[in-house]
Amino acid sequence: MTKDEIELILQVQQWNLDSFTPLYEKYFQKVYSFALLKSNWNVQVAEDVTATTFMKVFENINKFSVEKEGSSFAAWLYNIAYHSLLDILKRKESDSIDDENNISNDSDFVDYFQKHVQTEQILAYLWELWKDKKDLFILRIRENLTYDEIAEVLWKRSSTCRKDFSKLIKKVANHFKYWIED
């Protein structure tokens, strides 16, 4: 965490509500993108997850300790987002995904997809083979979290995350080696 981020968190904990805005602005797009990926581009779910996440962060910010050794606001935030997503998906499990809410109809998605096609192909590959490893890939590659932060989000040991990621990258590289050779 940066000094600025720590200061903002402390100010929000002292009920300086204007200090929440920079934290929200810094993490909004990251949480929304994370939720989009995890929900298979379901815009409604991503919006619900993002709103729920920031509501929970705001309501529980006093539970976050900036003094705790190794504490990471980003990991805490993603942990909340991850579990909010699981809760929302459980509630919507019986509902079918509404195609009109799918981001693939949005022109923004076309631009995004053109920039990240390889990442999306890798995620599709991971989705088919190792659904549980997709989270690890997204948090490490897309969200650039450390292994300690990922461990906190996924409730695993940091060494396990590091080992799983290493194995995962080797399998992905082997599967997509024709990209590297071209």
DSSP code of 140? I
Which residues does 103 contact at the CB level (< 8 Å), separation at least 6?
Answer: 36, 41, 42, 43, 109
Q: What per-residue confidence (pLDDT) applies to 79?
A: 93
Residue 111 lies in a domain: no
> Mind listing the pLDDT tens digit for each residue in 111-166?
444 454 466 666 666 666 666 677 888 888 778 888 899 888 888 898 888 888 88
Looking at 40, 73, 105, the residue that finishes a domain is 105
Backbone angles phi, psi at 143, to 5 degrees: -95, -10
Contact 77, 8 (CB under 8 A): no
Same domain, 98 and 123: no
Task: Over range 159-178, report the average pLDDT.
Answer: 77
In angstroms, the CA 36 to CA 40 distance is: 6
Average pLDDT, whole number, for the chain?
78
Confidence band for 93, pLDDT divided at 50, 70 and 90: low
Residue 110 lies in a domain: no
Q: What per-residue confidence (pLDDT) applies to 27?
A: 95
Q: What per-residue confidence (pLDDT) applies to 30?
A: 92
Give pTM, 2 decimals: 0.59
Share of the chain above pLDDT 70, in %: 73
Same domain, 49 and 100: yes
Q: What per-residue confidence (pLDDT) applies to 64?
A: 93
Residue 176 lies in a domain: yes
Nearest Cα to 79, choosing from 21, 150, 182? 150
Asked whether residue 3 carries a pLDDT value surpassing 70, the answer given is yes
Q: What per-residue confidence (pLDDT) applies to 180?
A: 44
Looking at 52, 86, 105, the residue that finishes a domain is 105
Residue 175 lies in a domain: yes
Q: What per-residue confidence (pLDDT) applies to 173?
A: 67
Residue 65 lies in a domain: yes
Per the structure, the complete domain to which residue 172 belongs is given by 116-182
Total structural domains within the chain: 2
Helices (H), the chain: 3-13, 20-38, 43-60, 73-92, 107-115, 117-129, 131-137, 147-154, 158-175, 177-181
Q: What per-residue confidence (pLDDT) applies to 181?
A: 44
Looking at 105, 132, 156, the residue that finishes a domain is 105
